[in-house]
Amino acid sequence: MQVAVIGANGGIGRELVPRLLDAGHDPIGVIRDESQFDAVREHGGEPRFGDLKGEFAPALQGADAVVFTAGSGGGTGWDQTLMIDLWGARRSIDACVEHGIDRFVMISSYNAGDPMAGPEAIRPYLVAKRCADDYLDWSPLDATILRPTTLTSEEGTGRISATFEDRGEDGEEIPRADVAQTAVVCLENEVTVGETVRLFGGDTPIEKALSPDD
């Protein structure tokens, strides 16, 4: 499967591209800075230029699936949050619909389901994520929304705790590497289509955690 990773040079994107390659997929790294092309190649991806605030749809040419893991970053203003995390996500969804790319995995955020439950300082960010998630949920795409809790840079364990449809208790922080691996597993697991999944650190192998009926 050819998988376009939007935000391939971000914290999760850098973990995701090589894992897609290891799983037998053909990763495309969509980035907005051509100086990062070599970094994408080093991780095993085909770099393509795509600017979520400008022209990016050609970067998705030939893709069978998209993983959206782009973000404006904590050092930018709320204007960039709207343009990247909300409007950029919506434009990505629209591009997939237009070009017949059916599979979409959204890396969202914990508390996006209820932004008012999150810390006051980041509620605008959570609102942007929730609106993007809702737009994806209402689209005709085969979508999975992942809402990880606090992210760490620790080495991945291959084990998580996952709750579907906001059921269950809160859990531990999670390595970005395990979020990336969860996205890979989701692409190969039809059980996750149409689901919103909260992700935490845990002790259950990822494949089993995403198959709650087993």
Which residues are identified as catalytic?
125
Residue 172 backbone phi and psi in degrees, to 5: -80, 160
Q: Read out DSSP for the chain?
A: -EEEEETTTSHHHHHHHHHHHHTT-EEEEEES-GGGHHHHHHTT-EEEE--TTS--GGGGTT-SEEEE-----TTS-HHHIIIIIIIIHHHHHHHHHHHT--EEEEE--TTTTSGGGS-GGGHHHHHHHHHHHHHHHHSSSEEEEEEE-SEE-SPP-SEEEEEETT-S---B-EEHHHHHHHHHHHHT-GGGTTEEEEEEE-SEEHHHHT-TT-
Q: What angle do CA 57, 60, 63 make, to 5 degrees?
A: 155
Tokens for 54, please give them: 């400008």
d(CA 135, CA 129): 10
